[in-house]
Amino acid sequence: MSSDPNCTVYIGNLDERVSDRVLYDILIQAGRVVDLHIPRDKETDKPKGFAFAEYETEEIADYAVRLFTGLVTLYNRTLRFGISGQDKAAPNLQTSTSTFRSRYHEDAATSPLSRFEGEEA
């Protein structure tokens, strides 16, 4: 695979039915994919549920993670993306958005913007 792990994106939560071609067709939308590898079990030859995609540059790899996180769902599974070698895949964007909404839209009285209501410029 890659000699530079910063150019390599980890893709997790893959269904075993996802083919190299389908995954490649999605990943190429972020930029040039140099290599794509879906590891398989040696005994069963079934995919292990994750893949690695090497992009041309670190910038493209970072962009791919930001672009695809929380967006790509195949066979009712939302795929997880992260730069290879980092501890975790990027958090699901939907979860982050839900957390943001629950923190800042609970009560208008506690909202930081509530102090500006009714003030004239």
Domain ranges of the chain: 5-90
Contacts of 14 (CB under 8 A, 6+ apart): 23, 38, 47, 49, 50, 51, 74, 77, 79
Tell which CATH classification among 3.30.70.330, 3.40.50.10420, 3.20.20.60, 3.40.50.300 matches the domain 5-90. 3.30.70.330
Res. 5 pLDDT band, cuts 50 70 90? confident
71-103 pLDDT, tens digit per residue, is 999 999 999 999 987 655 444 444 433 333 333
pLDDT reading at 106 higher than 90: no
Residue type, 6: N
Least confident of 19-23, 73-77, 108-112: 108-112
Residue range 50-70: mean pLDDT, rounded: 96
**Which has the higher per-residue pLDDT, 70 or 112?**
70
CA distance 13 to 47: 11
Least confident of 21-25, 37-41, 53-57, 89-93: 89-93
